[in-house]
Amino acid sequence: MQDEKVYGVDSPKKKKLGFTHFVEIDVEEDPEIAEAAGIMGTPCVQFFKYKEMLRTVSGVKMKKEYREFIEANK
């Protein structure tokens, strides 16, 4: 899997699966990224489509919830 730039975020942990990009940012190592993204706590998952944020989910959720949201917003 080839790393690529995802919406201007250069993160050491990222992968692409189909049309979905996953970017993991360590907010303790990169606090300025977390601040710029408005992340107040972890875990926090933000969903984007065409560079527009669709939804922010805070707290631990089941993978099923993420999959359903991704499928509904293809």
Q: What is the mean pLDDT of residues 61-70?
A: 89
Q: What percent of the chain has pLDDT over 90?
A: 9
What is the model's pLDDT at position 8?
A: 41
Contact 43, 51 (CB under 8 A): no
Residue 63, pLDDT > 50, answer yes
Query: Which phi and psi (to 5°) does residue 9 adopt?
Result: -100, 120
Q: Is residue 60 helix, strand or coil?
A: coil
Domain boundaries, the chain: 13-72
Full-model pTM: 0.66
| Alpha-carbon distances, residue 72 vs 19, 45, 49, 68 (angstroms) | 13, 16, 12, 6
pLDDT at residue number 18: 63
pLDDT of residue 3: 40
